[in-house]
Each structure stands twice: as structure tokens, then as C-alpha cells.
Amino acid sequence: MATTQVIRSERFPDLDDEVLFPRLSDAKLTWLAERGERLAFEPGAVLYEHAVRDAPFYVIVHGLVEFVDRKPGKDVYVAQADSRTFIGDIAAFTGEPTISACVAVEPTDVIAFDRSGLREMLARWPEFGEHVFRTLLARRTWHEAEGNGVMRLIAPRGSRRAFEVRDLLERNLLPVRAYDVDTDAESAALLEWLDIPRSETPVLVHATTVMRNPSAAQVARSLGLRAEVDGERFDVVVLGAGPAGLAAAVYGGSEGLRTLVAEAWAPGGQAGTSTRIENYLGFPTGISGTELTRKATLQARRFDAVLSSFHRAVELADGPEGLVRVDLDDGQHVLARCVVMATGARWRELQADGVDRFRGAGVYHAAMATDAERCRGEDVVVVGGGNSAGQAAVHLASRARSVRVVVRGTALKSTMSRYLVDRIERSPRIEVRTETEVSAVHGSATVESVSLVDRRDGSVEQVASTAVFVMIGADPCTEAATGILAVDAAGYLLCGSGAAKRDGHLCWPLSDREPHLLETTRPGVFAAGDVRAGASKRVAGAVGDGAMVVRFAHDVLAD
């Protein structure tokens, strides 16, 4: 049997850091001991393993523990924690896999809370809960910056499968570091260490698990992103985990409604891919889509909402006892007293030669936080004139050599917020090409250039580009409601007065009341965010919708 190499990191976090390791008073320890379970561990005992879900939350009364980043053939010790503090990171709340193992170094006495016990304890003491959240988020940030517990994805740059896996992981807020086998010298060393030939990439390394050429579905199953909820009943089932869906989950959970959120890909929706949202109330310096998504997801889980990713609803149907049956794409189904359609909209595809060949391998529909670094010193193209395109252009320009913004219209100011237009105009690296379209994307293994057509005179120019980011409008995601809910001419769900005026077989069926403002043509089924007709297409508007549907759901459930 191969021997596991033991390595100690040269840089442990400072135990005197008051944010990372807050010290608990005697009074706090006594209060916690009255509500948790007292346990004792001998030296060498494992309090929890690396890459396990639902690890307990521990408060150390006496003793010393160390945290171990398990890797194939290696155990890397990365941190310690001693008496009178609590241990773990934000996975204690999210239910995601732990980013390290925890091992007792000396006899250690703890107070333990499982996830339900932790939620109950913090609900009784909200001020302590804020303290715990701040510490656990700070620890996660520290460990990710050090590369501890981070998954490793090794792949050629042009691999579509690797892009899908990376996109799935990043948008589900799971730490991952990508290694390009074509340009990154470290990737060769990693493959040699794993004894895997380049031909078998992409490779995903998670703790001691090595997945060769995995699909996004295989990764989702391995990480347990989908909840096991078959046949369960919920007060509210939310379809979609963008800002509207997450807001509905937070408000539903906080008001005691048993809530499930089923998301087809990952939390955050289109807003979750935004590098900086600067016009959202309460964040004067702006907030990234990732940060907003992480905080909203944590809030929803704190209120005991069940969040299930990579879990698409395929059909709504009549269930027993007047409930709505929601069929999911893996064969599971759930029953709902109320349903919130918060499925949002998907970006339209760019109609240009070569796009299909490079989709997910040079042609993308989002500019994630890590994309700017991958485009360092390169030329890129952003297609679109809305806020998402503007945010992407500004973000990419921080690293790229040049960013061309390609717009069909005559100017940006009619479709983009003024603050973004100002930033674009001030950036020396951004060029705006109005009344222009992309007609073709060229390259061999990866994107190398793009053909631009001037709509005024039909002239064509081929420009260098290693990536194309497409944000040219969106179409509503209403497939699960086909034949059940009424839509307008553009395919968006009719609500409120629009639903009340609908004629035909999908008309409003009740004579004793009108539909609520966000209620569709089916009683108890609501729409929130970009999927509904007349939506504002702004994050704040979507959050408002999500909060409002819970109030209406209460009215329906009380009938």
C-alpha cells in the first residue's frame, strides 16, 4: 500500500487573530454547553473528514486540533485551533463538502451541534450568529487565498467539458483552481504526480478523489449538489435560484414555510455572473454577483430552506389534495402548496459562423471573476449593449490588452446605465463598435479572431480575439409550465391583471377572487423576476418580487 506523505504548511493562520479565532468567555461556553452535546476526542481522532457534507459545528472547550487538506498521496496540515473558540468554515451552514479534515492533536473536549441544532442555537442568539458568520466567512476567504481545500481542474484551454465543470463549480461557490495544460507549467507536474497522461484530461481532483474526463452531471452527483427530496411535501417550491428565487427562499424560510429551491444549474442566475453590481441598494461601493449569491444562499440555508442545484423542473402537473406536482429531471418529484416560478431568462445565442464549434471553449455567456485573469494581455470581444455586457467589459479591461464592445444599435446610452457608459468611455482599453455585428468566429483549437460587419456599409473587418462574451438579450425559461400557465406574445408569464384578462383554456379559473399581483393563471402558482411579463430586469426588482410572492403565498395558504 502506498504511503501517504505528510506535509506541514509553512503558513498557518495566526491563533491570535481575533477575527479568525475569536475567544469565548466562560458565560458563552456555559450557555453553549447547555444547548449542545459534550464530546471528548483522543489524540489522532478525526472530528470530521475532508469532503464530507453536513459536518458538525464544534466549540473547543479544551484541547488542540489541526486541519488537514487531503490530496492523492498527501496530507497537508494547513491550520490549527485551540481552546475557547469554535472551528470549521462556512460549509457548516451551506451543507457543502468540507474543505479539510479536522484531527485532534491532544485530548480535546468539545461542544457539538449538528446543522439543525446549530440553526436553532443561533436563532436563539442572533448576535452570536452574526459573529459566527463573520468568522466562518473570513476563514473560507483565508483558506481559498492560500489554496487550501481547493479543487483542481487540469484541462486544455479549449475543452468545452472542462468549461462546463468549472462553470458549475464556480457558480455553486465551490473553490476550484484551473490549470491549462497548454500554457501552465504546473499542470504537467500535477499530471505526473497523479500518473495521468495528458490525453485523459480534463481531470478534476477533489480531496483524494480523482475524476478523469468527468461531465458536469458526474461532478454534480459526486458533490451531492442535488437534494434527495422525492415525494416530499413543501409549503413553497421555488423554481430557480436567481435573486428572485433566493429572496423567496429567505422570506419563506424566515416565516416558517417549508421551502425548496430547485435550480437548473447554480444559484445566482444571470446576476450571479456579474462582476460588480453598483446600483443595488445598500452597497455604495457595489457588490459582486458571487458575493451577493453567497450571502443570499447562506441566508436561505440559515432559515432552513432546502437548496438543490443542477436540478431542473421539467413539468408542473395536478397533484393530490389540490397540491401542485413538480417533476424534476432526475426522476424525483415534489408536492407543493404554492409554486414560485423564478426561472429567469437565458441568453440568446449568437447567430454567426463558427459559434457552435467554440461554445464553452472560447464563446461564453458570462464573464466570471476568474475570466479576466485568464484573458490577461489578450484581445477579447463583448457582444451586447446592456448592463451585463457593460459590467463584463469593465471587468475584462482590468487585465485584457483590449476589449471591443460590439453593439447593433447606434449608442450604448439607450440600453446601459449611465455609470457603466461613463466607465467604458474613460477606459483606454475599451473600444465601442456601434452599428456592428459579429458574423463569424475563427480559430483552430481555440478562438483566434472574429469577423465584424459594419451594418451601415456592409464592410467586414477581421480582428484578433481569444474569447467572445455574448450578452445579446434573453428569452424566458418557461418550459416546465408549457400548457399549464399563460404567457404573453414574447413568452413571459402573465400575472395579476394580465392573468385576469386572459381568455381561453388557460384563463383564470376562480370567480370568487382575482389573481394576486404576481399570481399566474393558476391559483397558488406565482412568477417572480425576469420570467414574468413586465419585470424590471433589475436585481432589486427581482428581490422585491421574491419577497412579495411570499406575502401572497401566505394569503393563499390561509384560505
Query: Tens of pLDDT along the chain (559 residues)?
Result: 458 899 999 999 999 999 999 999 999 999 999 999 999 999 999 999 999 988 999 999 999 999 999 999 999 999 999 999 999 878 888 778 999 999 999 999 999 999 889 988 988 998 999 999 899 989 999 999 999 999 999 999 889 999 999 999 999 989 999 998 888 888 888 999 899 999 899 999 999 999 999 999 999 999 999 999 999 999 999 999 999 999 999 999 999 999 999 999 999 998 998 888 888 999 999 999 999 999 999 899 989 899 999 999 999 999 999 999 999 999 999 999 999 999 999 999 999 999 999 998 899 998 887 888 889 999 999 999 999 999 999 999 999 999 999 999 998 877 898 999 999 999 999 999 999 999 999 998 889 999 999 999 999 999 999 999 999 989 999 999 999 999 999 999 999 999 999 999 899 999 999 999 999 999 999 999 999 999 998 999 999 999 999 999 999 998 8
Gap between the Cα atoms of 114 and 380, Å rounded: 48
* Residue 270 region by backbone torsions, left for phi larger than 0, else alpha for psi between -120 and 50, else beta: alpha
| Residue 379 CA to its chain's centroid (Å) | 27
Gap between the Cα atoms of 400 and 272, Å rounded: 22
The pLDDT score that the predictor gives to residue 1 is 40
| Residue 359 CA to its chain's centroid (Å) | 21
Alpha helix segments (H runs only) across 224-348: 243-254, 289-302
| Other CB atoms within 10 A of residue 199 CB | 6
Gap between the Cα atoms of 124 and 115, Å rounded: 14
Write the pLDDT tens digit of every residue in 456-469. 999 999 999 999 99
C-alpha cell at 158: 479549449
The SS3 of residue 238 is: strand
| Residue 249 CA to its chain's centroid (Å) | 15
User: CA dist 303 to 256, 298, 466, 477, 532, Å?
Assistant: 8, 9, 44, 27, 26
DSSP string, 100-126: SEEEESS-EEEEEE-HHHHHHHHHH-H
Strands (E), 72-180: 74-82, 85-87, 101-104, 108-113, 151-155, 176-180
**459-464 long-range contacts, CB within 8 A, separation 24+:** 463/379, 463/381, 463/404, 464/379
What are the extents of the domains in the chain?
Answer: 5-146, 151-223, 233-346+475-558, 355-472
The pLDDT score that the predictor gives to residue 3 is 80
Gap between the Cα atoms of 125 and 127, Å rounded: 6
Gap between the Cα atoms of 505 and 494, Å rounded: 14
**233-346+475-558: which CATH number, 3.40.140.10, 3.40.50.80, 3.50.50.60, 3.30.930.10?**
3.50.50.60
Tell me if 5-146 shares its fold with 355-472.
no
Gap between the Cα atoms of 77 and 56, Å rounded: 20
The answer to whether 249 and 242 are in contact (CB under 8 A) is no
| Other CB atoms within 10 A of residue 483 CB | 9
| Residue 346 CA to its chain's centroid (Å) | 15
Alpha helix segments (H runs only) across 206-343: 216-223, 243-254, 289-302
C-alpha cell at 76: 497537508
Q: Per CATH, is 151-223 categorized as 3.20.20.120?
A: no
| Other CB atoms within 10 A of residue 192 CB | 10
Spell out the CATH class of 355-472: alpha beta
Gap between the Cα atoms of 426 and 84, Å rounded: 52
SS3 content of the chain, % helix, strand, coil (to 5): 30, 30, 40
C-alpha cell at 121: 442555537
Gap between the Cα atoms of 256 and 79, Å rounded: 38
> CA neighbours within 13 Å on the CB side: how many for 409?
11
Write the pLDDT tens digit of every residue in 497-509. 999 999 998 999 9
The answer to whether 525 and 519 are in contact (CB under 8 A) is yes
Gap between the Cα atoms of 242 and 293, Å rounded: 8
Give the burial class of 461: count Cβ atoms within 10 A of its Cβ; 0-12 exposed, 13-18 middle, 19 or more buried: exposed
Gap between the Cα atoms of 540 and 536, Å rounded: 9
CATH superfamily of 5-146: Jelly Rolls (2.60.120.10)
> CA neighbours within 13 Å on the CB side: how many for 267?
31
Could you give the angle at the alpha carbon of 74 between the alpha carbons of 55 and 140, nearest 5°? 40
The answer to whether 226 and 217 are in contact (CB under 8 A) is no
Peptide bond into 202 cis (omega under 30): yes
